[in-house]
Amino acid sequence: MRYQVAILAACAALAMAVGAHSDPPPKPSAVPVSWELEFEYQDICSITLVLPGQKQPKTFWYVLYTITNRTGADQVFVPDFVLYTDTGQVLRSGQGVPTGVFEAVEKRHNNPLLMDLGRITGRILQGEDNAKDGVAMWPNFDPAARKFDVFIGGLSGERAKVKLPSPIEVTEEDENGKPKKVTKTEITLLKTLRLSYAIPGEAAARPRTVPAPLKKEWVMR
C-alpha cells in the first residue's frame, strides 16, 4: 500500500510538471532503443470457484501470457501487472489472490509449466526453447466499473527521466522492506504495455461477461 501511495504521489507530481511546462510527456520510441522481451497473451478472462473453507463462490480475473527473450542477451524478467478501473480502483496482480486460484487456472488450461508471478520472476535465457508461460491474477474488481486498463511492466529496458516542478516527499520501502521518507526531484518512467478493455452488463452477470478489447499501446509510466 505504501508503495502504491508513493507511485500515486509521483504521478500527481508528474501531472503538475506537464501542466507547468509546454513540453509534452515522453512517449516510447517508435523503434526500440533498449532490450524488449516478446510478450504474447490471451485477453483477460474470469474464473469463478468456491475456495477451501468457504461456501460462496468468488470470481477472479487472469491473463495468460508467454514471454520470450530474443534480445541477444540473457535478461532479468521482473513482471509488474497492475489493473486500473475507471472508478479509481487499483489492483496489483497477486494481491488478495489465494493459492487455490492459480491451481484452478493451471488445471483449466492443462498446463503444468504455467508459472505465477513469483516463479516466473528472474533470469530468462535467450531463444524460443527458453520461453516461459505465466499468469497474472486479480480478485474481482469494482462492479460499477465499465472500463479498465491493464498495465504490464518489466518487458522493456527503455526509460525516461522527468524533472518535477518542485521536490515532493514520498514513502518508499528500503532494502529491508521498511517504509522511509525520500525527497524526489525527478521521476523515472518505464516503457509499459497498456491493454484497455470495456466490460458491459450488470454486476450480477460479471462472472459470465467477456471484456471487449479496446486498445493496445506502449506508454511511458
pLDDT in tens, 175-193: 887 888 989 899 899 999 9
C-alpha cell at 150: 491493464
Instruction: Give residue 114's Cα distance to chain centre.
Output: 18
Q: What share of the chain in percent tops pLDDT 70?
A: 90
Give residue 110's region: left, alpha or beta (phi > 0; psi -120 to 50). left
Strand 159-173 relative to strand 179-198, pairing: antiparallel
Task: Say how far apart CA 125 and CA 91 lie, in whole Å.
Answer: 30
Contacts of residue 23, Cβ cutoff 8 Å, sequence gap at least 6: none
C-alpha cell at 194: 497498456
CB 179 within 8 A of CB 172: yes
Each residue of 51-93: pLDDT tens digit?
988 899 999 999 999 999 999 999 999 999 999 999 999 999 9
Place of cell 493496445: 216
Q: pTM of whole model > 0.75?
A: yes
What DSSP line would sit under 60-73, residue for residue? EEEEEEEEE--SSS
- The pLDDT of residue 12 is 47
Q: Which domains does the chain have, with CATH numbers?
A: 29-162+189-220 (2.60.40)
